[in-house]
Amino acid sequence: MVAQSPQTEYFEKDPQRGERRCGCCSLGWGLIITGALIAVLGLLYGTVVPAVVDNAVKDGVVSCDASDGAEESYIDPYGDCEDCTPYHYSLYMMNATNAEAYLAGDDKTLQVREMGPYVYRRRQFKLDVEFLDDGNRVSYKQYTYHTFVPDMSCDGCSDDDQVTTLDVGYMSVIAQAGGEFAFLVRLALGSFASTSNTSEAVSVVTEYGPQMMRWVNGLNSMDPAAMKTVTNNSAVLTFLATGPAAIADLDLSGFAYNGLFAKRTISQWALGYPSLLAGLGLGSNYIKVCAATGGLNAQCAACVGKTTDECLAIWGQCNQCVRGARVVAINDETCAVIEAAYAAVYGATEAASFAASTCQLCSSFGLCAAPLPGIVESSGRNYTATAPNA
């Protein structure tokens, strides 16, 4: 074996050292290039990107002036103009086909059947349009209405079709009152027990509560037959003045008085309907508690803009007074709807007598008709013929 000299060993290992040097150089150049790219990207992000984003935002912003506010496509965007886009709402309802047997306990399972679609076209109008701050802000009032479109609805379907389902309006009113018992106590204190204390009102409701609730449900049913039963022999006036003894002997055992389920037309479910249940609670409270001499209205007016303990203590009651005032203000409109439904079955003369003994007592006894929102129309009011007072 021939011994290798140090020089020979050096030259044999030299190519490997060259490879390591090239690897180090490549890594260094890679880091330099990466750093340069990051610097360029940082420069672009700080200068070019913000400008691109700003331009994109500006392109998406609609700037208007007074002339634009007069355009039909702005005033009535769901109308028939060239730039308008019609809007249609398809309503499906679940009809409880055995609700009466289910409530009676004869059926353990509630049977439902889907009905629809019932198609409504929405119109949405702006009123009193005003541009402020050189067009940067716009102020307007807005209202909507909906009309039934038979051609786009299910075959043979009409907005007069009747559907039985859970009465969400009833549940909402009762829930806001804190339950049926609390609702009846408030009703008593706002009518026949207005000069009594709460304990006395509670005692009356404890004894007559179920009959009182079924009587109110009959008033609220929009069922002419049930409404006729609960108003026979001036029962409404007598109840409001003297108490539940006036209705104790009425036969209120029918389905229309249950409250939980209600049978209404598609139009009523879709567009809303006037509720004597909601109106009686809000109206009687407003007449007896808010608008009475020395009532809450004066205290609430004195508390506007204040956050004192006294004002915060009556804040909820003041909100109830505001809602009650709105119900009283539009009662003529909502009462007319109930009268028309009654007249369709019993004629105009009898309907006028019914209205005179119920919702036309709004300003005196607080028996008002409050509009409840529908599934399609949230206002619960019908503006197809006449626009609201701006």
Do both 340 and 192 map to the same domain? yes
Examine residue 367 and state whether it is found in any structural domain, yes or no: yes
Examine residue 15 and state whether it is found in any structural domain, yes or no: no
Q: Which residues contact 229 (CB under 8 A, 6 or more apart)?
A: 218, 250, 251, 252
Do both 146 and 236 map to the same domain? no
> Of 159, 175, 209, which residue constitutes the final position of a domain?
159
Do both 298 and 258 map to the same domain? yes
pTM (two decimals): 0.79
Domain count, the chain: 2
The neighbour count for residue 117, using CB atoms within 10 Å, is 16
Cβ atoms 158, 116 nearer than 8 A: no
Examine residue 265 and state whether it is found in any structural domain, yes or no: yes
What is the token pair recorded at 286?
């407003």
**DSSP 3-state percent helix, strand, coil across the chain (nearest 5):** 55, 15, 30
Do both 200 and 220 map to the same domain? yes
The neighbour count for residue 212, using CB atoms within 10 Å, is 23
Cα Dmax for the chain: 136
Instruction: Give the integer Cα–Cα distance in Å for 61 and 75.
Output: 18
Do both 180 and 134 map to the same domain? no
Do both 177 and 78 map to the same domain? no
pLDDT by position in tens, the chain (length 390) = 445 445 544 444 555 555 555 556 666 777 777 777 777 767 666 676 677 777 776 666 666 666 767 788 889 999 999 999 999 999 999 999 999 999 999 999 999 999 999 999 999 999 888 888 877 788 899 999 999 999 999 999 999 999 999 999 899 989 988 999 999 998 898 888 888 899 999 999 999 999 999 999 999 999 999 999 999 989 999 998 899 999 999 999 999 999 999 999 999 999 999 999 999 889 988 998 899 888 999 999 999 999 999 999 999 999 999 999 999 999 999 999 999 999 999 999 999 999 999 999 999 889 999 999 999 999 999 898 788 876
